[in-house]
Structure 1
Amino acid sequence: MLRLITMTPILVYISVALVCLWVLASRKRQRYRYPPGPKGLPILGNVLDIPTGYGWFAYRDWARQYDSDIIHLQGLGMHIVVLNSAKAAKDLFDKRHGIYSDKELTSMLLEVTGPYRNWSMMQYGDYWRDHRRLFHQHFRPLAVPQYHPKRAKAVHRLLQLLLDSRTGDDFVHHVRYFAGSLILDVVYAFDVRPDDLRLEIVEKAMRAGYDIINAGVFLADVFPILRHVPAWFPGARFKRQAAEWKALVDDMYEVPYGQFKATMNEGSAQQCFALSLLSDADAKDMSRLDEIIKSLTGTAYAAGSDTTVIAAISFIFAMVLNPDIQAFVQEELDRVVATPHRAMFDDEYNGYHIPAGSVVMGNTWAILHDEETYPDPYSFNPKRFLSADGMLRDDVPLPTETFGYGRRICPGRYFAMDTMFLIVSSLLAVFNIEKAVDEHGKVIEVKEGFTKHVISAPKPFKACFKPRHPGAESLIRSAVLADA
């Protein structure tokens, strides 16, 4: 009873706020023509319509239902606009980047990361531009080749781990080690092994980030004033969760960077992203630059690790399910040689009103499954990009939407593409990737399916990595020795 009495004022305030939001939204609906979307409920709007999993399917289906490539939902004062075509994404994110380059940082993320730690989610402005400029200097196309030796070393170790296991049970663990060790090497010049504590620190922080994303919308995100409620207050469990997650995220940014600064002070730091940033820094402005560099180095791991893991696992998944495509790519390799936005101002698009503050996002899945651009889009067919003479076709666009849009497109995309090319070409050069077998020699079938989360990965499966030729094993081991 005491808890009910204590919570009553908050419930009253929330109820009043909901009514006020509904009244304001009703008035705005009479003034503006929003893009089409499902009809919502009074006060709640489309809160119950927002998909909690596999949202890309729901948004694509609404686009077809309403015959519009731009869909609108709203609820509790928030507007969500989803773009389901490459044209709409280019028109808004690229051509109007001055409006759509901001990011929506929820109250829960503010609790965990603060406004300036994760620069990929930082609000658009001069401070974000400082980060982007420094990052671009070291990951632009002409700068990416300097990281090739580190990428090659990480790939060689991955090949050896896969060679030694072969069972198909733990290849995901090996891929995670590959991605984590590569980024720690590129960013800090740390030569880590699978049991390194620094890998554990960043993995815990990454899991915390996924917990936040997968938990959906917190009440504090809808009513930011709740951020000021003390952690001990009844119903403020989100504050205690945020404190736990914040400690993990802080460690990811602070611990590796602190260790690197120590090696730098000792004079033993090796060439890497962090060393280049600090070497170019103005000593007079070091306190400010130190925070920027810490943000850049920590975010590089957060943004690059799991995306690399999912891309690599998705490739392995595709190879297991498509042995004919695998053989085609291997033949080519053998022949040739031996990787959301926020509207800052009111806008009009195709006669529809997009209010300032709207969350505007591209439905990348729908864009890359557009049947007019990519015929038979549900078939895994890399040949669609090649002409009869084996050259890239000009009339089939490369799927760059994978990396985002406009000014917020992934700044590390050139590094990622080079890394994925090295993974794909190296794996297929020395292995046949096949379905695993159980202890009785029976093939373990692989079911097609992906997780429902925002960062979607193949559901768990097993794979077997068999050397393609007798010399493959010695080639792998000699490459690892040469890197030592």
Structure 2
Amino acid sequence: MSTLAVLSLQYFCLVSVGVYLLYQVFVKKNPAPYPPGPRGLPLVGNLHDIPRDKSWLTFTEWGKKYGDISHINVLGMHIVVLNSVKSAVEMLDKKSSIYSDRPVVPMTGELMGYGQTLAYLRYGERFRLFRRNCHRIFGNRAALVDYHPIEEMEAHRFLKRVLAKPDQLQAYVRLTAAAVVLRLCYGYEVKEDDDPLVDIAKRTLDQLSRYSITGEFMVDFLPFLAKIPEWFPGAGFKRLARECRKNTEEMAAAPYKFVKDQVAAGIAPQSFASDLLKDRTLTPEEDYIVKWSAVSLFSGGADTTVSAIYSFFLAMTLFPDVQKKAQAEIDAVVGPDRLPSFADRASLPYIEALTKEILRWNIVISSVDRSTMQDDIHDGYYIPKGSLIIINVWSMLNDPQTHANPSEFNPERFLAKDGKEPERDPRTVCFGFGRRLCPGLHLADASLWISIAMSLAVFNISKVVENGVEITPEVDYTSGMISHPKPFKCSIEARSEKAFALIQQDAD
């Protein structure tokens, strides 16, 4: 370490000690105790307790030890973890006026540029305008009916791609998810190979998933570090952020320019952005809101759906009995002469239950961050204004009091049977709470359902056999904000000659 870096570090430590002592002298006494949690150290608090890998598992252990609500303090930042649906509903739904803000995340939000998207917007007028735009187009299942033919067409194209090259499953899942949201958000039809918009989305969302965990970078706890120059020792995060921001800006600008050009030429098909642009002269602020509303939906749907659909193929590889039950239902309701469509959804309860179990079994976003807009006392605990609230979705969907044998993959848990009520629908948890409920939840749900139904109608999915040995995939997930199953091998074949013919039919 250079002499300059050592002196800078010593100066920082002296300043930190001074601030800490002043805080101890002048801080007002709290009106109630903080929630329980791991004991911290002087100055740095619980910095050493921040989990670096699969944080949701650590948070779940805290829940078992300290209760539904736990608390740590990292360099003066209060962090509160919610591990139960009850605490989330009581705080985020019933007290939404307090718990609807988003923390300022210096690395992801400010430096990487993602703070311009809906997921990172602070609660206020611009946030409400973004959500109003999203709700207008995708706010409920009925609003999505106009887009069902596009989703069915893209799902059919997915079948063709996978049948031709099953070893490219993961790439085709990603391509299809991007194709759906690009068509719905911008009216853009992707190219089969090396599509530039799919490529920029993949780069940007990979970076977001890898680097967006709050606390991954020290600048999240010490925001003043964002001001240091890139050449300063230890400022590598600034160079990384610059690269990420360039990709974020391009992901927003490129498809938006495409749809604006299409609208200007009078040839734009129906889409989220074209509906907001047609027959209007936008102010700079309105133009900004449409642009970043669209990319918020694009980015939100292009990666989360990938994880869920890839998990479905993993589950079918591991649980052939579930696959057979699902296929039997499709055969009985739909028959062998056509592909399932959204019109069949109400008649396929087992496929519906399977869709729910995929969302519960693979927690795509295992934890979500909020921030408090004012002080609160909840259940006798003091939650200061500006606290970071972490919603541990993984814990909520693996709670044995709510979901029997949560480690077991069992779609029937969501079917009424022998007078027993179905377990809680995971969609009431995994898409968020309160005023920050995911605006694209109906789109994500529809994309997952049609992919599952069509794939099961025509494919047999099984374990790969290599040198006479059956290969059982490992169930393991990445640790980023959006958690993906790690790559695995599976065998995918047409179920029959009729299935093969259905796949080969024109998907347009």
Asked if TM exceeds 0.5, the reply is yes
The structure-2 alpha-carbon separation of the partners of 1:343 and 1:18, relative to structure 1 and needing over 3 Å to count, comes to farther
Say if 2:134 is the partner of 1:148. Answer: no
- Tell me the C-alpha RMSD between the 2 structures: 2.2
SS at match of 1:35: coil
Match of 1:410 in 2: 438
Consecutive unaligned residues of structure 1, counting only runs of 5 or more, are: none
Match of 1:88 in 2: 87
Match of 1:386 in 2: 415
Distance in 2, matches of 1:96 and 1:15, equals: 40
Whether contact under 8 Å (2:263, 2:278) holds in the other structure is: no
1:114 positional shift = 4.3
Amino acid at match of 1:263: Q
Amino acid at match of 1:219: M
Say if 2:496 is the partner of 1:469. Answer: yes
Whether contact under 8 Å (1:102, 1:344) holds in the other structure is: yes
SS at match of 1:447: coil
Distance in 2, matches of 1:56 and 1:18, equals: 32
Whether contact under 8 Å (1:179, 1:306) holds in the other structure is: yes
Whether contact under 8 Å (1:19, 1:43) holds in the other structure is: no
Match of 2:465 in 1: 437
1:421 positional shift = 0.9
Which stretch shifts more, 196-205 or 124-133? 196-205
Match of 2:366 in 1: none
- Which deviations, in whole Å up to 9, do the C-alpha atoms of 1:159-193 show, x marking residues without a partner? 01111123xx3210110111111111111111112
1:409 positional shift = 1.1
SS at match of 1:74: strand
Match of 2:269 in 1: 270
Which stretch shifts more, 108-117 or 75-84? 108-117
Distance in 2, matches of 1:96 and 1:89, equals: 10
Whether contact under 8 Å (1:433, 1:463) holds in the other structure is: yes
Equivalent in 286, 290, 308 of residue 289 of structure 1: 286
Whether contact under 8 Å (2:112, 2:241) holds in the other structure is: no
Whether contact under 8 Å (2:162, 2:169) holds in the other structure is: yes
Whether contact under 8 Å (2:108, 2:212) holds in the other structure is: no
1:227 positional shift = 2.0
Match of 1:33 in 2: 33
1:132-143 matched pairs, under 5 angstroms: 132-141=131-140, 142-143=142-143
Amino acid at match of 1:57: L
Whether contact under 8 Å (1:92, 1:100) holds in the other structure is: yes
Whether contact under 8 Å (1:21, 1:76) holds in the other structure is: no
- Which deviations, in whole Å up to 9, do the C-alpha atoms of 1:128-176 show, x marking residues without a partner? 101111110000222111111111111011101111123xx32101101
1:278-357 matched pairs, under 5 angstroms: 278-279=277-278, 281=280, 283=281, 285-338=282-335, 340-357=369-386
The structure-2 alpha-carbon separation of the partners of 1:450 and 1:259, relative to structure 1 and needing over 3 Å to count, comes to same
Match of 1:78 in 2: 77
Match of 2:425 in 1: 398
1:377 positional shift = 1.2
Equivalent in 474, 478, 484 of residue 457 of structure 1: 484
Match of 2:97 in 1: 98
Distance in 2, matches of 1:126 and 1:475, equals: 49
The structure-2 alpha-carbon separation of the partners of 1:115 and 1:330, relative to structure 1 and needing over 3 Å to count, comes to closer
Distance in 2, matches of 1:385 and 1:29, equals: 48
Amino acid at match of 1:208: Q
Whether contact under 8 Å (2:173, 2:309) holds in the other structure is: yes
SS at match of 1:466: strand
1:115 positional shift = 7.5
- Which deviations, in whole Å up to 9, do the C-alpha atoms of 1:221-256 show, x marking residues without a partner? 222222222223333222222111111111101111
Whether contact under 8 Å (2:52, 2:216) holds in the other structure is: no
Amino acid at match of 1:326: Q
Distance in 1, matches of 2:124 and 2:112, equals: 18
Amino acid at match of 1:123: R
Match of 2:68 in 1: 69
Whether contact under 8 Å (1:18, 1:76) holds in the other structure is: no
The structure-2 alpha-carbon separation of the partners of 1:451 and 1:201, relative to structure 1 and needing over 3 Å to count, comes to closer
Distance in 2, matches of 1:18 and 1:44, equals: 10
Match of 1:176 in 2: 174
Distance in 2, matches of 1:36 and 1:29, equals: 17
Match of 1:368 in 2: 397
SS at match of 1:135: helix
1:7 positional shift = 5.9
Whether contact under 8 Å (2:100, 2:372) holds in the other structure is: yes
1:9 positional shift = 4.2
Equivalent in 406, 429, 435 of residue 377 of structure 1: 406
Whether contact under 8 Å (2:35, 2:71) holds in the other structure is: yes
SS at match of 1:471: helix
SS at match of 2:204: helix
Distance in 1, matches of 2:250 and 2:432, equals: 28
